[in-house]
Structure 1
Amino acid sequence: MKSSRSPQAPASHGTQSIERALRILRELAARGEFGWRLSDLAARCEVDKGTVHRVLSCLVRERFVQQRSTDKHYFPGPMLYELGLSLPGYAAFQQACERRMAKLAAQTEAIAWLILRSGNEYVCAVRQGSLELRGLMVHAGTRRPLFTSVGGVAILQTLPSLETENILADNVQQEIAQRGSGRLGALEKMRDRSRRHGFGVNLGDVVTGVHAFAVPVCADNGRAMAAVCLTGLAEQFGEPKLAEVRAALAEVAAAVEQDARELLGGVMHMGHMGASAEP
């Protein structure tokens, strides 16, 4: 089943190769440290191996992609970093968020992370804290469907109902295509719990014994562009602590919103980091 992304016009013949290359780059960036084998990347992108190989060969020549000699895995190349240097505000925002998440992680003895909305998905921008948690396979650069994360759920709570429905339909397709339907009940339970409490709340709904919480980071129009998340053990964050946790997260989220206003400017008006702009 094909994995959907942000709503786009149908690809014309002239842009199809560009869209394939961009899809490949997104998938490579999502596993920057581990890389992809050619066959696995082709299966993930649902493009035949020959086509993916031709695209990768071009991207390697242009330094957007590298191939590791030891295992032949492909991973992001230095040109992506060089292009990013043209966005100094984003680098400054990243550094500010790293400091804020590190402080939150130290205060709570948990894992603090910041995710950014990217279309129908989220991208982990920052992860801080040394607590080891079973089942928390999210690191900087990880890209997943929004509804699979307590932070993504917090983001969805700020969006119009029709947009949320469309995102959820896409996310369910992605989940089934990649992992089957086994987690759908747990993910729905997390959404229901979060709806009742008014912010992202996961009390062991997805991984037993692991609790997670999130509040949105909103733009000036009230739409979330990111979320501040906290994850720890059940014994650290039981239900009686929900109000305390929400207040701590809201304080950090407000500070991140201010950082974004000062460092990113127009993003605060658009209401997205990597999301599709509203028409």
Structure 2
Amino acid sequence: MDNKPQTGTQSIRRALSLLRLIARHNDDGLTLGELTAMSGLERSTTHRLINCLLEENFARRETSGKRFQLGIDAVQLGFSTTPHVAVTEELRPLAMKLSRLSEDTVFLVIQQGDQVLCLLREHGAFPVRIFTIGVGEKRLLGIGAGGLALLATQSDADIETLYRRHEDTYRKAGMSLPMLLEKCHLTRRNGYASIDSTITPGISGVGYAFSVSALTQVAFSFGAISPRLAGQRRAQMGRLLIEECSAWQ
């Protein structure tokens, strides 16, 4: 099918799919072969489309010339729409509702490449407040409850690749690759992520990830002292996240 003449709409969709792939892996970039494999397009089609994106400054070659990243026009387009502000304001009412229902601290994070960025932190009525991450701070995927929920949406192969890129950081957090994969598998089975003393001793969290667009994934999480998020209540808070976030979607 790739070798047949394509309509303008098909070409646009395929070019946009490449842009989304590049954006998701922008920190390290993607090779032509990786773009071809991940997009499912013929190599000739991928080559033609990426050359067009290069000419229009929506893609660029990194220093070695072998990997592609977002170009200046793609970045400027993102800046002009202030997506983080839009996402934050859109989800603020849900964050406030979750903090009211749970009485715990609620975090909203958004995926940025291999990391998550904290967009919101809402404190509930429970007197012990959690400050494991602040608004504007970043953390590697898989370390916090929200980041673990986001990481679990990826394939095991992608998780292993990510782990190899940041092995030192994961090991400092006490995570081996088998442990990280096990946590992701458990997250998929339960439908929500769960951590205990991963970031701060005595602090636990549960998180749930969902998409707000074809390109953007976010996660909400609860943070509390470990005795408060143990056993049955942990499962209850996980179900609350799933129900409320699914209803918002």
User: Do both proteins adopt the same fold according to a TM-score greater than 0.5, normalized to the shorter chain?
Assistant: yes
DSSP 3-state at the match of 1:5: coil
Pairwise CA RMSD? 3.9
Tell me, yes or no, if the aligned pair for 2:160 and 2:177 is still in contact at 8 Å.
Answer: no
The Cα of 1:137 is off from its aligned counterpart by 3.5
Partner in structure 1 of residue 210 of structure 2: 217
Q: Aligned equivalents of 2:186 and 2:100: distance in 1?
A: 29
User: CA separation of 1:253/1:7 partners in 2, compared to 1, >3 Å: closer, same or farther?
Assistant: farther
Within the candidate set 90, 99, 107, 1:105 is matched to 99
Q: Which ranges of 4 or more aligned residues in structure 1 deviate by more than 6 Å? A: none
Partner in structure 1 of residue 148 of structure 2: 153
The Cα of 1:93 is off from its aligned counterpart by 3.0
User: 1:62-77 alignment to 2 at 5 Å?
Assistant: none
| Alignment deviations for residues 8-37 of structure 1 (CA, whole Å, 9 cap, x no partner) | 4562389xxx99x9xxxxxxxxxxxxxxxx
Residue 157 of structure 2 is aligned to residue 167 of structure 1: no
User: 1:188-203 alignment to 2 at 5 Å?
Assistant: 192-193=182-183, 195-196=185-186, 198=189, 199-203=192-196
Partner in structure 2 of residue 7 of structure 1: 29
Equivalent residues, number:
186
Tell me, yes or no, if the aligned pair for 1:190 and 1:205 is still in contact at 8 Å.
Answer: no
Tell me, yes or no, if the aligned pair for 1:189 and 1:205 is still in contact at 8 Å.
Answer: no
The Cα of 1:186 is off from its aligned counterpart by 8.5
Amino acid of the structure 2 residue aligned with 1:5: D
- Unaligned 5+ runs, structure 1: 22-79, 259-279
Partner in structure 2 of residue 254 of structure 1: 246
The Cα of 1:89 is off from its aligned counterpart by 6.5
Within the candidate set 74, 94, 97, 2:88 is matched to 94
Amino acid of the structure 2 residue aligned with 1:202: I
Q: Aligned equivalents of 1:182 and 1:164: distance in 2?
A: 17
**TM-score, length of structure 2 as denominator length:** 0.60
User: CA separation of 1:186/1:202 partners in 2, compared to 1, >3 Å: closer, same or farther?
Assistant: farther
Q: Aligned equivalents of 2:176 and 2:123: distance in 1?
A: 26
User: CA separation of 1:109/1:192 partners in 2, compared to 1, >3 Å: closer, same or farther?
Assistant: same
Tell me, yes or no, if the aligned pair for 1:190 and 1:202 is still in contact at 8 Å.
Answer: no
Partner in structure 2 of residue 117 of structure 1: 111
DSSP 3-state at the match of 2:134: coil
| Alignment deviations for residues 205-249 of structure 1 (CA, whole Å, 9 cap, x no partner) | 44222110011113688x981211110112322112233111111
